[in-house]
Structure 1
Amino acid sequence: MKALLPILKNAFLISLIIIGSFSPLMAQDQTIKILTYNIYHGEDPFTPGKTNLDSIAILLNELDPDIIALQEVDSMTVRSANLYGRKVNLVDELAKKTGMDGYFAKAMDYSEGGYGEGLLVKKAEYFIHQNLPIPAGGEPRAAAWTSLKIGEKNIWIGGTHLCHQFQENRIAQVQEILGFAESKSNPIIWMGDLNFTPQDNEYQLIKANWKDAAKIAKDESSTYQSATDEGRIDYVWFSKNHFELIGYQVIHVPYSDHFPVLVELKLITP
């Protein structure tokens, strides 16, 4: 949610990283548990200078999701060195602590390192880094995507953090993400800190072929809370004809100014 230094626009870029061969994620029950979490660059937002990575790792291990989308992630920054005594790639550290495969999608250069999105996946094979448009200027933004198998079905899952500064950017970024997602015939899940509420115009761009997990669960409680503001700005969206919602929960823990959102979906097979 917070601002960093203004950065010039990046050219749009999609890059591909292949980790290994495909393998079924949860072939038995056709369900997947996913979590989105803005981790505030690994620092306790209410106690400046206090680290929170160990607490987050314990929480992630307890919740045991199959895939995690992380926002506000530092990689090898001076800021991380000031917190942890050395420059740290937060995704790599959380991957080690959870036993998951990690992927960092840098959105921008920051503090002698990088800042952007992360994915943690139990069985990762295939990642894509998608840069997002910033027509109004401001901070560069990115999305991270992975392709997995549930049983015999390939699915796509993405995580992102949309612009906090300009609505024009958020609208363009939603359109870019939907353009990528709707170019696939596969089941799709995308999620993250989107920096808009259900009352905003950006939300209305997301058509009825996508389902908002919170709305389906009838739980639209706040996912972001600071001393002066709160609201529901963290989401999990899924292609409506491909999944059934099994569970939705906002986890109220004090490790960030955002709460993690945990969702369980069941793949609908013909």
Structure 2
Amino acid sequence: MKRLFLYALIFLAGPRISFAQEIKIISYNIYHGEYPDQASKPNLADIANLFIQLQPEVIALQEVDSMTERSARIYSEPIDLIKKLSWETGYRGYFGKAMEFGGGGYGEGLLVKKGSQYRTIALPTPAGGEPRAAAFVKAELKSLEEFYFGGTHLCHEFTDNRIAQVDSLFAYAETLSKPVILAGDFNFGPNSPEYNRIPSHWKEAGAVAGNTQKTYDSENGARIDFIWYDSRKFDLVEYKVIEVPFSDHFPVWAVLRMKKDQQ
């Protein structure tokens, strides 16, 4: 009887010890909730359906309105875009306000299957311009592994701001007690001084996958939306850019696996 009990314990513990669950991630700049080429046409239903189909564990969203006059123009009344997406997808939602805007707030959004310890950190703007922020959550997988996930949208105007924001964001990530993944619209490309300033143990999923596909659907195109991970803690399994017309950006998708010594 004791031997059977021991075998049962080994069976239950085995997958937890031997295998880490894959973490599916999306980062998406949602263009404040409307189609970019059709003014006042809502895009949240299409975005919600995409998330339901793909079932990522964590989602970082940028250009998020909360109870703004702009959202009222699009949706006939002021709405919190994250609350609406949370309701439509079943994910837990968090809005990280970067600034006051249009009678409400504007900033970052997170959708997670399971999370706690949500917080928003302000990012520096030494050159002025719009306030910027990053939203963080401690996420938990079905297999009980925990990691921190941060979403951000860096300055679109000044290199000095982006450099300061990169320094602040990655320095903060290094203080966290669990493995960290960062995602968002960084507003710089792979050949920029900001990109090259990021510590070498942080890897960008698109670069590791050798995928140079644009993520910003402008006339000339640009690759400015990234998923970063600490390569000491994670391995990349998959990366892709999802070409859907719901925003002026494309969602970026990655699958990571936590290294065994991090479990």
TM-based fold match above 0.5: yes
Q: 2:160 — aligned with what?
A: 168
Match for residue 235 of structure 2? 244
* Separation in 1, partners of 2:177, 2:213: 32
| Matching residue within 126, 132, 136 for 2:127 | 136
- Cα offset for 1:38? 0.1
Deviations 1:25-64 (A, max 9, x none): x967421101000000001101112111111111111111
- The reply on whether 1:204 has 2:206 as its aligned counterpart is no
Q: Contact 2:182 / 2:228 at 8 angstroms: preserved in 1?
A: yes
Matches within 5 A, 1:7-46: 29-46=20-37
Looking at structure 1, the residues matched to 233 and 200 of structure 2 have their Cα atoms a distance apart, in angstroms, of: 13
Query: In 1, are the aligned partners of 2:20 and 2:260 still within 8 Å (CA)?
Result: no
**2:60 and 2:22 mapped to 1: Cα distance?**
17
**Alignment of structure 1 residues 74-153 onto 2, 5 Å:** 74-150=65-141, 151-153=143-145
Determine helix, strand or coil for the equivalent of 1:207. Answer: coil
What stretches of structure 1 move > 6 A for 4+ residues in a row?
none
Structure 2 Cα separation of the partners of residues 82 and 184 of structure 1: 40
Q: State the shift of 1:183 in Å.
A: 1.6
- Counterpart AA for 1:176: S
Shift in Å at residue 149 of structure 1?
A: 3.1
CA–CA distance in 1 between the matches of 2:184 and 2:83? 19
Letter matched to residue 181 of structure 1: A
Whichever residue aligns with residue 188 of structure 1, its letter is: V
**Residue of structure 2 aligned with 1:182, choices 170, 174, 179:** 174
One-letter amino acid of the structure 2 residue matched with residue 251 of structure 1: I
**2-structure distance, mates of 1:269, 1:148:** 18
Q: CA–CA distance in 1 between the matches of 2:145 and 2:112?
A: 17
Deviation at 1:153, TM superposition (A): 3.8
Once the two structures are TM-superposed, the CA of residue 220 in structure 1 deviates from its matched residue by 1.5
Partner of 1:267: 258
Aligned residue for 2:115, secondary structure, equals coil
Between 1:182-191 and 1:147-156, the stretch displaced more is 147-156
Structure 1 unmatched runs, 5+? 1-25
Could you say what secondary structure the match of 1:229 adopts?
Answer: coil
Aligned with 1:73 (options 57, 60, 64):
64
SS of the aligned residue for 2:198 comes to coil
Choose the corresponding residue for 1:48, options 19, 24, 39.
Answer: 39
**TM-score, scaled relative to structure 2:** 0.90
- Flag the structure with larger Rg: 2
Give 5+ residue unaligned stretches, structure 2: 1-14
Distance in 2, Cα, partners of 1:187 & 1:79: 37
Deviations 1:101-144 (A, max 9, x none): 00000001000000000000001222111010110100000000
Amino acid at match of 1:236: I
Q: How far apart, CA to CA, are the structure 2 residues paired with 1:117 and 1:51?
A: 18
Report percent identity of matched pairs: 49
TM-score for both structures, normalised by structure 1: 0.87
Report the AA paired with residue 97 of structure 1. E
Letter in 2 for 1:162: L
CA deviation vs aligned residue, 1:156-203 (integer Å, no higher than 9, x gap): 110000000111100000000011011234211001000000010000
Separation in 2, partners of 1:224, 1:260 = 9
- Match of 1:156? 148
